[in-house]
Amino acid sequence: ICFDLALQTKEMIEAGTVLQDRYRIEKQIGQGGMGAVYIATDERFGSTVAIKETLFMDDNYRKAIEREARLLNSLKHNALPRVTDHFLEENVQFLVMEYISGEDLSHALEDNGRPFPVEQVLTWADQLLDALDFLHNQVNPVIHRDIKPQNMMITTRGQIKIFFAPVIKALVIPANRNQ
């Protein structure tokens, strides 16, 4: 079966569905070529989370998504959403992360209708550059590979959060790279 066909025939998860006996789906908030994103309630803690559904084709892709989930869970930075869980259910991968209230930068640009104030853009640029510096300076540097307004969220407090689309790249660079 063609992957695109699988995506076209995959139905949205209904509100009220409980995944892993823990996450109650509230509603779908996004959809892309690789799956969908839902708002859910973590019934163990009573908190709101975002659940990213990722459809996959083969065992290699499944393993890559699992590695990505472990990597994202290990990254702790104010501009990155916290990843708290990962699981496989009915041949679909799920990544559970902090729910960020706000709008993506592309929608904010459309809604604003004019350029943002320079001071605000500089603040966001500082936050973005700090996050990229953090990612690039890991023991195994992490390369985002898809920085664009659709992958950045402006929180209700005016902070930038960077989202990852699968699959990010963690480089393994030899120890003598500077020689």
pLDDT tens digits for range 83-116: 999 999 988 889 999 999 888 899 999 998 899 9
Letter for the amino acid at 59? D
CA dist 124 and 22 (Å) reads: 35
Provide the mean pLDDT of the chain. Answer: 84
Structure tokens at 3: 């992957």
The answer to whether the beta carbons of residues 53 and 97 sit under 8 Å apart is no
Task: Name the nearest CA neighbour of 38 among 51, 57, 22.
Answer: 51
Longest dimension (CA), the chain: 57
Structure tokens at 45: 């803690």
Instruction: Give Cβ neighbours of residue 18 (< 8 Å, ≥ 6 apart).
Output: 24, 25, 43
Higher pLDDT, 35 or 20: 20
Distance from the Cα of residue 152 to its chain's centroid: 10
Per-residue pLDDT averaged across 148-158, rounded?
Answer: 90
What per-residue confidence (pLDDT) applies to 6? 40
Structure tokens at 75: 């990254």
pTM summary value:
0.79
- pLDDT one-digit tens code per residue, 24-64: 999 999 887 778 999 999 999 999 999 999 877 678 888 88
- Residues found in the chain: 179
Q: Cα separations (Å) of 77 from 1, 30, 39, 88?
A: 39, 24, 22, 26
> Would you please indicate which residues are annotated as catalytic (active-site) residues?
146
What per-residue confidence (pLDDT) applies to 166? 52
pLDDT band at 178 (very low <50, low <70, confident <90, very high): very low
Lowest-pLDDT range, 18-22, 157-161, 172-176? 172-176
Residue 153 has pLDDT above 50, yes or no: yes
Lowest-pLDDT range, 41-45, 89-93, 133-137, 173-177? 173-177
According to DSSP, the residues that pair with 41 across neighbouring strands are 24, 48
What per-residue confidence (pLDDT) applies to 72? 87
Residue 163 has pLDDT above 90, yes or no: no
CA dist 66 and 128 (Å) reads: 25
